[in-house]
Amino acid sequence: MDHIANQAPMMLTRRAAEIPPFIVMDVLEAAQEMERNGEQVIHLEVGEPDFDTPECIKEACCRALKEGKTHYTHSLGLLELREAICDHYLTRYGVTVSPDQVLVTSGTSPAMLILFAALLERGSEVIISDPHYACYPNFIRFFEGTPVCVPVREADGFQYTPDAIRARITPQTRAILINSPSNPTGNLLDRERMAQIAALGVPIISDEIYHGLVYGEQEHTILEFTDNAFVLNGFSKAYAMTGWRLGYLIAPRAYIRPMQKIQQNLFISPNAFVQWAGLAALREAGPDVLKMKTIYDERRRYMIRRLREMGLGISVEPTGAFYVLGNISAFSQNSYETAFDILKRARVGVTPGIDFGAHCEGYLRFSYANSLENITAGLNRIEMYLKERGAL
């Protein structure tokens, strides 16, 4: 007992103490606790495909395991996979990338970690939109950088404008971060706007994880407009491979060796057999992706119609990813409390807008990465919830 009493108090770093939670995960985990207690919850909160990973990908993984491909790979990733990524960008976008510009990672989040570790010093600034993916500012602050937010508003179609970005560029600006299709808004940047942002002369970080999930429009890679760019992408969303943890980063050559050294020290290399599965995804899973996209589009159109009928504001239809951002300001000004109240009373998981920045307060994000049957049942429950509270 004396030994325990004399122990020094636990010392926790400021960065660990101050990092905010990822609220959508708090919602998901609260929903899972309800499910363990026997309640049936419908999940419209989490951005995870409900589809199983395509068979050709699973077969490639099993084949790699049987062939003993279970050892370290090159720290940049398998050459065959990096070549396939380059072929994909050439075929889809008409841009030429060399395999020595590609760093394969264990998911897109580690790619982001490595990138910001290479780019940021204390006081470095990264311009991001608000709303934005919830984790962007947390990555930036973790490396003692400063996220500089540019408000994007529903009245403007949540469009990130070059003029507003230009006004926030300072000598400390290290990058402009774009995400198209966007989480949480589901909107796209058009070709002209991307070209104008690229012309600002600041390095661009382009999060392209939702490429392949676009409905009625065409997404563009930032590499069509500039070589002064870093592309984040991966296999989780389009290929229904969230649990496989496989992503990649395309970067100017001057940055590759420094980032490779970070990978070697922190991660060594991505999983070997998962990389072989990723190769099959790029080469063989195109028809599966198209099938999933067709189903997503049907869900998207249904969800937009139902939410509008319930009085949630959706002035611009989202055309990418698998999210609809609904304006709830007509009946609530607190998205956090509303989301958890919907979970408790209606047993439907939704994501509070405040998770995505101050300018997303007054919104809820709904994911249509669930079956149409479950989406219908979930929206029916929310409609009843709103009626019981006099909001309809």
269 and 293 housed in the same domain: no
What's 276's DSSP letter?
Answer: H
Distance (Å, rounded) from C-alpha 51 to C-alpha 18?
35
Greatest C-alpha distance within the chain? 70
218 and 320 housed in the same domain: no
Q: Where residue 249 sits, what CATH number does that domain have?
A: 3.40.640.10
Count of domains observed in the chain? 2
Domain boundary among 236, 255, 285: 285
**Strand arrangement, sheet containing 323-327:** 323-327, 363-367, 351-352
Residue 391's pLDDT is: 65
Distance (Å, rounded) from C-alpha 184 to C-alpha 135?
12
* Below-50 pLDDT ranges, the chain: 1
Domain boundary among 285, 312, 334: 285
Burial string for 275-287 (b: 16+ CB within 10 Å, else e) reads bbbbbbbbeebee
- List, in order, residues 6 or more apart from 305 with CB less than 8 Å away: none
217 and 308 housed in the same domain: no
Strands 229-234 and 247-250, sheet pairing: antiparallel
The answer to whether residue 61 is domain-embedded is no
The answer to whether residue 200 is domain-embedded is yes
Q: Is the dihedral of CA 245, 246, 247, 248 positive or negative?
A: positive
Question: How remote is the C-alpha of 179 from its chain's centroid?
Answer: 8
Q: Where residue 374 sits, what CATH number does that domain have?
A: 3.90.1150.10
- Amino acid (1-letter code) at residue 117: A
Q: How does pLDDT run across 365-390, given as a tens digit for each residue?
A: 999 999 999 999 999 999 999 999 87
Distance (Å, rounded) from C-alpha 22 to C-alpha 88?
32
- Amino acid (1-letter code) at residue 52: D
Residue 155's pLDDT is: 85
Domain boundary among 265, 285, 305: 285
**DSSP E strand stretches across 44-137:** 102-105, 125-130
The answer to whether residue 62 is domain-embedded is no
Burial string for 115-148 (b: 16+ CB within 10 Å, else e) reads bbebbbeeebbbbbbbbbbbbbbbbbbbbebbbb
* Structure tokens that stand for 321 in this block: 């990813």
The answer to whether residue 169 is domain-embedded is yes
Q: How does pLDDT run across 273-320, given as a tens digit for each residue?
A: 999 999 999 999 999 999 999 999 999 999 999 999 999 999 889 999
316 and 279 housed in the same domain: no
**In which domain, by residue range, is 160 found?**
67-285
Residue 273's pLDDT is: 98
278 and 294 housed in the same domain: no
The HSE-up count of residue 226 (CA atoms within 13 Å, CB side) is 21
